Structure formats: C-alpha cells, structure tokens
Chains A and B, each alone.
Chain A
Amino acid sequence: MFAARAEIVANVWKIVAREGDQVGVGDTLAVLESMKMEIPVYAEAAGFVSKILVEVGQIVQEGDPIMEIDETASA
C-alpha cells in the first residue's frame, strides 16, 4: 500500500483515476491546480486504486495523501 501525495499546496482540480482502477507507474491519478499550473499526481507504483482521499475543489497541503494504491492487489 502506498499513498500518492500532493507535491505542492494546491486545489484538487480533477480526479482522473477511480476506485478499483488498475494503474501503472507514471499514470496520472489526479490533477492539482496551483499557481495557475496544472500539476499531475502520478502513480509511483503499479496496483489498484483502493481509496480516493480527496474531492474536487478541496485544498491540499504539500505531502497530503491524494489516493491509496494497493500494490499487492496488482495482478
């Protein structure tokens, strides 16, 4: 299990992956908006999205978890 985290204080702009989705390394899970930049949140490991921890429009701080990825469930 690992959490994809916000790399900067931001607004959650788009949630791309859904719970249960299988994701690969480098896939875009969500897009944050900060300083008028669209900042992608990438999957750092392959697995299944087990939990989405934020909502669109929510403010996240640097380091806040965005999604949980269950690596063990990866086939």
Chain B
Amino acid sequence: MTKLETPAEISTPDQAEHRTVLTQRRQDRFARVEPKGKRVFTARERAEMLVDPGSFVEMTPLRTAGGGSGSGVVAGWGTTDGHAVVVVSHDAAVASGAIGAVMAESIQKAQRFAIDKGYPIVYINDSGGARIHDGIFALHGCGGIFANNIEAQKRIPQISLILGPCAGAAAYSPALTDWTVMVKEQGQMFLTGPEIVKAATGEDASAEDIGGSALHTTVSGVAHLAVDSEDEAFDATRLLLSFLPSHKGGAQKRHDSVPANPGAVERLPGLVPDKSSVVFDMNALLDGVLDNGARLELMPTHAPSILTLFGRLDGHAVGILANQPAARGGILDSKAAVKAARFVEFCGRFDLPVLTFVDVPGFLPGTVEEGRGIITHGAKLLKAYVETTSPKLTVVVRKAYGGAYIAMGAASLGADVNWAWSGSEIAVMGPGGAVALLHRRALKEAEEPTVLRDELAAVYREEVARPYIAAEAGIVDDVIMPEETRDRMAAALRMLTHESSR
C-alpha cells in the first residue's frame, strides 16, 4: 500500500484578497444611487423599511443587466411581525425602473420562490413599464411576471405599493394582485403617461389626472387605499399582512381576544333607528361587535355604500362586509357589487371567515345602473358567496329586501349561520312598495290613501316582514338581540374554525 504523499506545499487561500474583491464588488453594487425626483429612499431602503429591522436578505445581489448596472430591481425576503414575506422593489434609479429582460427574470425568480415556498409577496412598484431597448425580450419578461401573478392568486397573498409613476406593465402587474396601496401625489398608475396620451388622442392631462390615487381609489377602483407617505404605505402593508395567513391553507393568525369598545357596546341596543328609512353609521355598530383594536378598511372612498374591512372578533382575523346606510342609503349598485364580490372572493381564497352585516334597501334600479351592467355585477356577488368555502356568518340588523337580501350572504347562498335582529325586516320588497302593489285598487279608491297606506304598511311589516316568519321557516337560524351578536359570532367562529377540536 503506497503511502499518500503529502504535497510539499499546501496552497492556502488568500482570504484577505478574496475579501477585498468581494467587498469592492458589493460596494460597487450598493453604491448609493441618489433617488430621483421626489423620491427620498432607494429601492433597497424601501425594502428594508417594509420588513422587520435587519431582516432583509437580498436574492442575487450581484446580478447585473450588463455594463455593470444593476438589474433594476431589489428582490429578497424578510419578516413582518416575525412572519416571512418576499419583497420586490423596483429601482427607479436604473433606467426609471423600466422592466428589461434581466429585471423581469429577477422578479419572476422572487415570485417563483414566494409561490413555491408559500409566502406572501409585496411588490414596491416604481417603474415606467417595459424597457424599450430590450424590445421583445422585455415584453416576454413582463408577460411572464403577469403569468406568475395569476398563478400566485391561487396560492399566496399579493400586495402592490405604488410609490412612483407606474406605466404599462408596471400598472398591469398590480391589477393582477390582491390589494394595491398608492401614495398620494407620488404614485400613479396608467396605461401610458401624459406625453403619449397627448400624442395619441390629443387629451391634455397631468399624471395625477390620468392615474393619481384620487382617481383610482375613488372613481375607478383600480387601487384600494390612498396614504400620505411611503411610511404609511409600509404600515398599511404590515397591518394588512397581520390579518392574512402566509398562503392558502396556512394557519390563520390568531390574536388574543379583545372586548368590543365598551361605549359602543352600551350604545349598540339603541343604535339602529327603528324607522327603516333613517340613516345611521354602520361603523358604530361594528364597534359594538368587533374586537376593539386593529382594523383596516379597504376601498373606503370607492362605492362607500358598502364597507369592506379586515378586523378581529374574539381574536380571529375576519373579513367584514357591511352595508353603510350613511352613504347613498346603503344601496347596492354596480360598483358596490363588484367591490363586495372581490372582497368575499379574496376571503374565500385565504380561508378568512366572512362576517356580513345586512341593512340593505335593495339594488339601485334605473337606466344608469342597468347601463352599467348591474345584473352582471350583482351576479358576481352571488357567485362569490356561493363559491366561498370559508366560514360565513350573516346577520340582518335592520332590513333586507329582495334580490339584495339574497346577495348579502343569505342562507340560500351557503351561509353557515344566519341571524336576524329582533327589530329587522326581511321581505321581497319594503312595506311601502309592497303595499302599493298589493293594494293598488283599495288605495286608489280610498278617501285618505296615505292613512290607509300607512296602516297597510304597518300590517305588512308585522305579518309578512318580521324575522320570526323567516326563523319559523328555518331560513334564518335564530332571532337575536343586538347585544347577543358578538357572543353568538364568537361561538360560531370557534366551532367553524375547528378551534374546539384542537
């Protein structure tokens, strides 16, 4: 057996030299590129501000797009409140954040990682769209990002922040994600910017006019929240993530139960005006039922006749859908139906219980709404409830008439539990309209039609519309008092989330 010769000299690596080279490479890569325009922070700083301090790890930090310039994006992961999250942050200092082939590849890599490992992804958008110099390769890359966005919808929560002018592909990708937050007067989303709009159609409009937060969070509904600063956008993102599981089928975030606001609880029994035509603020009702604490309303200024928010009840993260009588009487119109359907569908996708508080005068009829396609849009809400398999709890707090009764998470659409407050009305139409139809001849011949109408309406209200009829038929599970609502919901949530069997 030959003895293994020991080499005369073992070449030991010169770690000092390696370290120098790597340090230089990193310095070149992370050389602070001054943020352009109104921007204060770089792409990397934004990513670091979003996540827990010191938790950000960049994926492929040395990746370049050739010529030594950065890829145009900082992608990596970190944690928020200790929970892992993947972050993609456009680098507007590199070619205005325009998406070239390498940048698209880096974004897709982060998306693939988030989808495969099951973590939420936050996109910090600040990009002019596809990089023109990269031609078809840029377009191919952008399409790949979209395809991943769509695949991710089935698996992980996706949140988009709009922190600068986002055109074309940089506006489409957010539209394929779940929630979009815009910074006022700083973030815009449009197909194409003011110069090209002017050239294409002659329309003279500013970037804010065609894609600002005022337009998208109030009129178009393209974005879901407008905030004053980047800091607030990151706060809102962390708050939003605090309600969501990391991926479909992942554990729901459970917090300590916090009692409802004591003052609101005290006011709850007398809060809803007996007269069904008088408006009140649904938020005050929710205050008397939900945990007193973290809450996030989405789309507060778009279709305000319906409220969509995340909150907690007995520590469970829940999605809340409620008619808002204080805005447009609480009606359902095309925009409200689309807003509500999208919210219910999202909750279903991530197993969040849906709590529905009903006080709805109906779908808004007429030429304008029919022209907007209210039938199609209303149908989306029906479909969303039926297809949602997360726990569904519905309570009628005052009135629920006609098709809108069904659309607001009725038993027939698969609600797991249905209650009606003792003073509520459930009917095909409100007493006024029903009486006018049912007693047309009697009213025509009456000496004092308004007196007769009121009498008949009172009879109708008691004999047809009271919730006991629905409860006796088993369509409403039970009639409850306002102050019982919270405990009933908490007990149902414990049962429906299998908590009692854990």
Q: How far is the CB of A51 from chain B (nearest CB, A)?
A: 24
Most buried by B among A9, A36, A38: A36
Q: How far is the CB of B276 from chain A (nearest CB, A)?
A: 7
Q: How far is the CB of A58 from chain B (nearest CB, A)?
A: 16
Contact present for B279 and A40 (CB under 8 Å): yes
Residue B278 lies at the interface, judged by CB distance under 8 Å to chain A = yes
Residue B223 lies at the interface, judged by CB distance under 8 Å to chain A = no
Contacts of A7 in B (CB 8 A): 327-328
Contact present for A38 and B277 (CB under 8 Å): yes
Q: How far is the CA of A8 from the CA of B329 in the complex (A)?
A: 9
Contact present for B277 and A36 (CB under 8 Å): yes
Contacts of B330 in A (CB 8 A): 37
With known contacts A8-B329, A8-B364, A9-B366, A36–B279 Cβ distance under 8 A:
no
Q: How far is the CB of A43 from chain B (nearest CB, A)?
A: 16
Contact present for A35 and B364 (CB under 8 Å): yes
Across the A-B interface, how many residue pairs have beta carbons closer than 8 Å? 39
Contact present for B331 and A35 (CB under 8 Å): yes
Please, which residue of chain B has its CB at the minimum distance from the CB of A38? Answer: B277
- A32-44 vs B: 1/0 string, CB under 8 Å? 0111111110000
Contacts of A37 in B (CB 8 A): 277, 279, 325, 329-331, 361
Contacts of A36 in B (CB 8 A): 276-277, 361, 430, 432-433
Residue B362 lies at the interface, judged by CB distance under 8 Å to chain A = yes
Q: How far is the CA of A8 from the CA of B44 in the complex (A)?
A: 46
- Choose from B278, B329, B368 the contact partner of A35 (Cβ within 8 Å): B329
- B312-333 vs A: 1/0 string, CB under 8 Å? 0000000000000101111100
With known contacts A7-B328, A8-B331, A9-B368, A38–B361 Cβ distance under 8 A:
no
Contact present for B366 and A35 (CB under 8 Å): no
Most buried by B among A8, A35, A36, A37: A35
Q: How far is the CB of A61 from chain B (nearest CB, A)?
A: 8
Q: How far is the CA of A38 from the CA of B432 in the complex (A)?
A: 14
Contacts of B325 in A (CB 8 A): 37
A1-18: which residues lie under 8 A (CB-CB) from chain B?
7-9
B274-290: which residues lie under 8 A (CB-CB) from chain A?
276-279
- B437-470 vs A: 1/0 string, CB under 8 Å? 0000000000000000000000000000000000
Contacts of B277 in A (CB 8 A): 33, 36-38
Contact present for A39 and B328 (CB under 8 Å): yes
Please, which residue of chain A has its CB at the minimum distance from the CB of B430? Answer: A36
Contacts of B279 in A (CB 8 A): 37-40
Q: How far is the CB of A54 from chain B (nearest CB, A)?
A: 18
Contacts of A9 in B (CB 8 A): 364, 366, 368
Q: How far is the CA of A8 from the CA of B368 in the complex (A)?
A: 11
Contact present for A35 and B327 (CB under 8 Å): no
Contacts of A8 in B (CB 8 A): 328-329, 331, 364
Please, which residue of chain A has its CB at the minimum distance from the CB of B304? Answer: A7
Q: How far is the CB of A25 from chain B (nearest CB, A)?
A: 16
Contacts of A61 in B (CB 8 A): 368
Q: How far is the CA of A34 from the CA of B433 in the complex (A)?
A: 12
Contacts of A40 in B (CB 8 A): 279
Contact present for B328 and A38 (CB under 8 Å): no
Contact present for B331 and A62 (CB under 8 Å): no
Please, which residue of chain B has its CB at the minimum distance from the CB of A37? Answer: B329
Q: How far is the CA of A31 from the CA of B320 in the complex (A)?
A: 29
Contacts of B361 in A (CB 8 A): 35-37
Q: How far is the CB of A55 from chain B (nearest CB, A)?
A: 21
Q: How far is the CA of A56 from the CA of B492 in the complex (A)?
A: 48
Please, which residue of chain A has its CB at the minimum distance from the CB of B330? Answer: A37
Q: How far is the CB of B301 from chain A (nearest CB, A)?
A: 12
- B70-102 vs A: 1/0 string, CB under 8 Å? 000000000000000000000000000000000
Q: How far is the CA of A37 from the CA of B273 in the complex (A)?
A: 12
Contacts of B327 in A (CB 8 A): 7
Q: How far is the CA of A27 from the CA of B368 in the complex (A)?
A: 29
Q: How far is the CA of A43 from the CA of B214 in the complex (A)?
A: 21
Please, which residue of chain A has its CB at the minimum distance from the CB of B368? Answer: A9
Known contacts A37-B361, A62-B368, then 19 further A-B pairs from the complex at CB < 8 Å, ordered by chain A residue: A7-B328, A8-B364, A9-B364, A9-B368, A33-B277, A34-B331, A35-B329, A35-B361, A35-B362, A35-B364, A36-B432, A36-B433, A37-B277, A37-B325, A37-B330, A37-B331, A38-B277, A38-B278, A61-B368
Q: Which 6 A-B pairs have the closest CB atoms?
A: A37-B329, A35-B361, A8-B328, A38-B277, A36-B430, A39-B329
A sample of 27 inter-chain contacts (CB < 8 A) reads A7-B327, A7-B328, A8-B329, A8-B331, A8-B364, A9-B364, A9-B366, A9-B368, A33-B277, A34-B329, A34-B331, A35-B329, A35-B331, A35-B361, A35-B362, A36-B276, A36-B430, A37-B277, A37-B325, A37-B329, A37-B330, A37-B331, A38-B277, A38-B278, A38-B279, A39-B329, A40-B279
Name A's B-contacting residues (CB within 8 A).
7-9, 33-40, 61-62
